[in-house]
Structure 1
């Protein structure tokens, strides 16, 4: 019986999250109501409130789960060489592509920038821990520059419906990082 309840609980949360993500594609969280989420999920409001306080709480839970998952994902990789860094970036882009709808929605114009900033902080720390070998002040500025540029490329890639493979985007970002304005664009 407990297993059945757990599955039902997981299903309910999944449907509510999917419904909110779908609504956020078209409008900001401030315009989304619990009633809309429930109608889209085909769940009654009392069920919603047994899981979440309000729509913002639901969004926060989605973001927290994504961040925890991202941390676990990045912690699984060791970056000892340039080749490792490129493979890690490719794996990260595969991760993003597998969660394309959610990432695209949480990074779109209707979303709060806190989520994007949190991703940038995680990525920046990862870069500083694994990649940059210079004074900390310079490293902080360089990592901000690199991560912000890479984040915009990823957002553009998501907006363009991930037409290129994760490997192609990883190689492009790597080329921009290492060759900058001297990169030869095909």
Structure 2
């Protein structure tokens, strides 16, 4: 029962974030939406900031695990296009499944810190990949910054338009654009 209440609290905050800026959301609102009393809320979280941080960290940790897997299983863009496609597909599928959270925190009421966390983690991973494997790219850092910016733009636009395209289509676009950059 405790885990169910915790899940309801988490879901309620995500739903509230779709309608209200985080600053306007109160513990009272979260409890009303989740149909739990305040003491139950405080059994799981210190305050609304702790709740949001737990949700953010959960999703960011999942993303870091995907990046880590990508890094350890990658050799070259030209040789590993299927691996890159699979990575992009996993990311797009995860975002699609968690669309409410990502749309609320990146589109409806953007949280710059969350966006920067994802961008920085992606940039750091891509730079490690570029430094680990042989490549003909001259300015690796600028290539990574440009790539990450474009990929973030595609994901943000996809969320803004309601994730109309399938994750497969988004993965194909991300892969095609990454390959084009290699020319």
**Alignment TM-score > 0.5, same fold:** yes
Q: Distance in 2 between matches of 1:136 and 1:46?
A: 56
Moved more, 48-57 or 81-90: 81-90
Shift of 1:136: 11
Shift of 1:54: 1.3
**2:47 aligned residue:** 54
**1:155 aligned residue:** 156
Under a length normalisation based on structure 2, what TM-score does the superposition of the two structures give?
A: 0.84
Shift of 1:173: 2.1
Extract unaligned runs of 5+ from structure 2. none
**1:36 aligned residue:** 29
Aligned length: 174
Under a length normalisation based on structure 1, what TM-score does the superposition of the two structures give?
A: 0.83
**What are the within-5 Å matches in structure 2 for residues 111-122 of structure 1?**
111-122=110-121
Shift of 1:131: 4.5
Shift of 1:60: 0.6
Q: Distance in 2 between matches of 1:92 and 1:113?
A: 20
Moved more, 55-64 or 85-94: 85-94
**What are the within-5 Å matches in structure 2 for residues 7-18 of structure 1?**
8-18=1-11
Q: Distance in 2 between matches of 1:135 and 1:28?
A: 45
Q: Distance in 2 between matches of 1:168 and 1:162?
A: 10
Secondary structure, counterpart of 1:164 in structure 2? coil
Q: Distance in 2 between matches of 1:82 and 1:164?
A: 21
Extract unaligned runs of 5+ from structure 1. 1-7
Shift of 1:61: 0.7
| 1:91-112 alpha-carbon deviations (Å, 9 max, x no partner) | 2111211211112222124132
Q: Distance in 2 between matches of 1:139 and 1:166?
A: 28
Q: Name which of 61, 65, 69 aligns with 1:72.
A: 65
**2:179 aligned residue:** 178
Q: 1:162 to 1:175 in 2, by over 3 A?
A: same
| 1:27-77 alpha-carbon deviations (Å, 9 max, x no partner) | 211111000000000011111112112111110110011111222233334
Contact 2:68/2:125 (CA < 8 Å) preserved in 1? no
Shift of 1:9: 2.2
User: Which structure has the higher relative contact order (CA within 8 Å, separation 6+)?
Assistant: 2
Provide the alpha-carbon RMSD of the alignment.
Answer: 2.4
Contact 2:106/2:156 (CA < 8 Å) preserved in 1? yes
